[in-house]
Amino acid sequence: MKPILPIVMACFFANTGAAQTAEPEPMPELFTTMDEVNLNQFKWKNRPIVVFADSEDNPAFDEQMRLLRQRPNDLIERDVVVITDTDPEAMSDLRRKLRPREFMLVIIGKDGGVKLRKPFPWDVREISRSIDKMPMRQREIREAKERAREDVPG
């Protein structure tokens, strides 16, 4: 299986002086292939999105990857990691468990549970809305708002 071109997002710094002297922290790769991962490594840290296809040439797979690459910041904000599996012959554990036919998009929660399956490509906006409705994501949003209120002087 050919690895999908990894996209590594650049680190941003508060000021240019810090950028010149600080070592940038490595960012996780947003895209990876199934043969490079164990889903347990993402539990409680990331929301895996698994894109299954019967081949890298599958038009639905191409469309899904194009859609995901258009808005990587929305995915990063939601702690998403995209995993692709385009080799049905390898029969990965997840492929055996979820039994996709040709193309399938699967959103897995931070708890490791399957949250959504789609037999067709989905836009990042739709994916983001679906994730934002999850209880854990709702808690993350509330906590971020609370931290923002605490940081405001006054």
Residue 74 is part of which domain span?
24-151
Structural domain contains residue 13: no
**Number of folded domains in the chain?**
1
Per-residue confidence (pLDDT) for residue 154, from 0 to 100 = 60
Structural domain contains residue 7: no
Per-residue confidence (pLDDT) for residue 133, from 0 to 100 = 96
Structural domain contains residue 89: yes
Give the chain as a 3 state SS string: CCCCCCCCCCCCCCCHHHHHHCCCCCCCCCEEEHHHCCHHHHCCCCEEEEEECCCCCCHHHHHHHHHHHHCHHHHHHCCEEEEEECCHHHCCHHHHHHCCCCCEEEEECCCCCEEEEECCCCCHHHHHHHHHCCHHHHHHHHHHHHHHHHHCCC
Per-residue confidence (pLDDT) for residue 20, from 0 to 100 = 38
Per-residue confidence (pLDDT) for residue 118, from 0 to 100 = 97
Per-residue confidence (pLDDT) for residue 26, from 0 to 100 = 40
Per-residue confidence (pLDDT) for residue 10, from 0 to 100 = 28
Per-residue confidence (pLDDT) for residue 122, from 0 to 100 = 96
Structural domain contains residue 103: yes
Task: Please give the model's pTM, rounded to 2 decimal places.
Answer: 0.76
Which residues, 6+ apart, have CB-to-CB distance to 127 below 8 Å?
49, 75, 80, 107
**Cα dihedral 54, 60, 65, 66 sign:** positive
Average pLDDT per consecutive 10 residues, the chain (154 residues; last block may be shorter):
33 32 47 76 95 96 96 95 93 89 96 96 97 95 91 72
Structural domain contains residue 86: yes
Q: What CATH number does the domain containing 77 carry?
A: 3.40.30.10
Which residues, 6+ apart, have CB-to-CB distance to 137 below 8 Å?
78, 131
Per-residue confidence (pLDDT) for residue 90, from 0 to 100 = 87
Structural domain contains residue 123: yes
Structural domain contains residue 45: yes
Structural domain contains residue 121: yes
